[in-house]
Amino acid sequence: MRRLAHSKVGHALACRALVLLPLLLLAQPVERKGPYFERVISGNAGAMPRLRVRAHGPVTLQAGAGSSITYSVRVSVRARSEAEARATIQRYRITAERQNGWMVLTAPGGPVLTTVIVKTPRLEAAEISTSDGAVEASGVDGSLAVDTGGGELNIDRIGGDCKLYTVGGDVTIGAVGGRMQCSTGAGKINVNTVKGPCVLETVGGDIQANEIGGPLRAETGAGGIHVIRALSTVSAGTRGGPIIVDHAAGIVSARNMAGPVQVGEAPGVHCESGSGGIRLNNISGAMRVSTSLGNIMAALLSGKFEDSILATGNGDVTVIIPSNVGVNIRAQNDLADTLRRITTDYRTITVRRQGRQLVGEGPVNGGGPLLQISASVGTIFIRKQ
C-alpha cells in the first residue's frame, strides 16, 4: 500500500513537472529594452475545452488556432543590472494547471510585468482576468468573460454569451452569437453585431451599435449614442450628446439631459429631454415625448397608431400626418400671442382662444386615437404629408 501511495504521489509530481518543464526549456535569453530587461517564456499545455487566463498585463487569446494550448509570455522587469534582472526572472514562475475541467494559465505580477499570447484549439468557454492591460480575444465557440483593471478591449467571433469589463478603455466588439454585457469606466464602445440581448455602459464616451438582435440598453454618462439597426426594443440614456436610432423593430425609450434625439423608424417612442430638439420619422405606434427646451418634429407612419403626447416647454412642434392615418387632434399653446401659433393644413381642426391659451381640436382623416400637442413658447404646425 505504501508503495502504491508513493507511486501515486510520484505520478502527480511528474504530471506537474510536465506542465512546468516546457516553460524552462523554451525560455529565451534576457534582453535589455530601455530601462527594462525582458525574457520570453513559451510552453504547451495540451488541449482542454475551457480556459482561464490570469495575468498582470496585456493578454491576447486566439481560439481555434491550433491543436493544443500554446502560450508565449513576455516577462519584463526593471533592474539596475542584467544579473539582478536574471535573478528576478529566474524566481518567476508561470503555471498551467487543470482545475475542475478548466485549464488555468497563471502569469502572476509581483516585481514583473507580463504580456501573454495564447493560441488554443476550439473552446467552449474562456475567462480572462488581468490586473492591468489591454485584452484581445477572438474565435471562442462558446462564452467569454473578460475583466481588466484598465485597458482597451478588442473582441470578435464569440459564439456564445459575452461579458466584458474594463476600469477604463475603449471597447471594440465584432460579432457575438449570444448575450452581450459590456461596461467600461471611461471610453468608447463600438459594436458590430450581437444576436442576443445587449447591455452597453460607459461612464464617459460614445456608443455605437450596428446591429442588435435582442433588446438593447445603452447608457453613457457623457457622449453620443448611435444605433443603426435594432431588431427589438431600445433603451438609451445620456447626460449630454445626441441619441440617434436609425431603425428599431421595438419601442424606443430615450432619456437625454442635454442633447438632441432622432429616431428614423420605430413602432413607438418614449422620450424625455432636458434640452435638445427631437426628430421622429416613420413612427407607427404610441409617442410619449417631452423636452424642456427644443423643437419637436414627428412624422407618422401608417400602422397601429395609439394615443400620443408631444410636449415642449420652449420650442416649435411640427406633426406630419399621412392621408391613411386617422387621429383626433388636441393642440394647446399656453402663451400664444396670435392665432397663428397653431397652424394647420386641415379644415377639420378648429383653432380658438380659451383664456390665455390657444386650443386647436378636431379629427384628421376621419379621426382615431388622440394626439395631444402642447407648447408654452413657440408654434404648433399640423401638416399633411
What are the residues whose beta carbons fall under 8 Å from the beta carbon of 320, sequence distance 6 or more? 297, 298, 299, 300, 383, 384, 385
Q: Is residue 38 part of a domain?
A: yes
Least confident of 1-5, 31-35, 213-217, 289-293: 1-5
pLDDT band for 27, please (50, 70, 90 cuts): low
Residue 57 has what pLDDT?
94
What are the residues whose beta carbons fall under 8 Å from the beta carbon of 337, sequence distance 6 or more? none
Provide the residue range defining the domain that includes 57. Answer: 22-123
- Do the Cβ atoms of 236 and 218 come closer than 8 Å? yes
Nearest to 65, CA basis, from 132, 120, 6, 146: 120
Domain limit, last residue, from 123, 148, 171: 123
Q: Is residue 117 part of a domain?
A: yes
- pLDDT above 80 for 10: no
Over residues 352-371, mean pLDDT: 93
The two most distant CA atoms of the chain are separated, in Å, by: 105
Residue 7 has what pLDDT?
40
- pLDDT above 60 for 13: no
Tally the domains of the chain: 2
- Do the Cβ atoms of 335 and 377 come closer than 8 Å? yes
Reported as a single tens digit per residue, the pLDDT across 78-103 is 888 888 888 888 888 899 999 999 99
Q: How far is CA 375 from the centre of its chain?
A: 35
Residue 1 has what pLDDT?
35
Over residues 55-68, mean pLDDT: 96
Q: Is residue 361 part of a domain?
A: yes
Contacts of 109-112 with CB under 8 Å at 24 or more apart are 109/56, 109/57, 110/56, 111/77, 112/56, 112/75, 112/76, 112/77, 112/88
Q: Is residue 237 part of a domain?
A: no
CB atoms within 10 A of CB 5: 9
Q: Is residue 218 part of a domain?
A: no
Residue 28 has what pLDDT?
66
Over residues 322-349, mean pLDDT: 91
Q: Is residue 50 part of a domain?
A: yes
Length of the chain: 385
Q: Is residue 74 part of a domain?
A: yes
Reported as a single tens digit per residue, the pLDDT across 111-167 is 888 999 999 999 999 999 999 999 999 999 999 999 999 999 999 999 999 999 999
Domain limit, last residue, from 81, 100, 123: 123
Would residue 374 be called left, alpha or beta, if left means φ above 0 and alpha means ψ between -120 and 50 degrees?
beta
E strands along 322-378, which residues? 327-333, 342-344, 350-354, 357-364, 370-375
Distance CA 13, CA 362 (A): 88
Domain limit, last residue, from 123, 150, 181: 123
List the grid coordinates of 61.
Answer: 487569446
pLDDT band for 21, please (50, 70, 90 cuts): very low
Q: Is residue 251 part of a domain?
A: no
